[in-house]
Amino acid sequence: MPSPLYLGIDVGTSATRVSLVGETGAQMASADYPTARDGAGHVEQDPVAWSGALATALRRTGADLRGVTAVGLCGQTPTLVPVDAAGVPVRPALTWCPPA
C-alpha cells in the first residue's frame, strides 16, 4: 500500500495553490494557477473561476491524487460571494483585498 498523501489548497486573491505532502512532511508536488481581479484597482473576482483554477493547479502537479487521505483548505476571508437560493453566485465576489 502506498504512503498516504496530504493535499493542501489555498484559494487566494492572486492564485490558487496546491501542495501534496507525504507522510514524513516532505513536499511531493506543488502547483498554482493565477486568478485575477476584475481589472486594475477592482476588488471583484469571478467565484466560478476558482474551481477552474483549482482543477488546473491539481492537473499541473502531475500527481496521482488517489492516494490523498486528507485535505486542508484555506481561502480569502472575509470575501463576500452573493448567491441565489440554489447557491449559485449572482455577481462577482467582493474580495477582502483593497484596490491596487
Tell whether 69 is covered by a domain.
Answer: yes
Query: What pLDDT score was predicted for residue 43?
Result: 80
- Residues 9-28: tens digit of each pLDDT: 999 888 999 999 999 999 99
**Burial (CB count <10 Å: 0-12, 13-18, 19+), residue 25:** exposed
Report if residue 99 sits inside a domain.
no
- What residue numbers bound the domain in which 77 lies? 5-94
Question: What gap in Å lies between CA 59 and CA 31, rounded to an integer?
Answer: 9
Domains contained in the chain, number: 1
Residue 58's CATH number:
3.30.420.40
Specify the pairing of strand 15-22 against strand 93-94: unpaired
Q: What is the pLDDT of residues 80-97, one digit of tens each?
A: 899 999 999 999 988 887
Extract the C-alpha cell encoding 29.
508536488
What pLDDT does 96 receive?
A: 81
pLDDT tens sequence across 26-52: 999 999 999 876 665 678 888 889 999
Cα-based distances in Å from 63 to 8, 9, 52, 56, 59: 13, 14, 17, 12, 8
Whether residue 15 lies inside any domain: the answer is yes
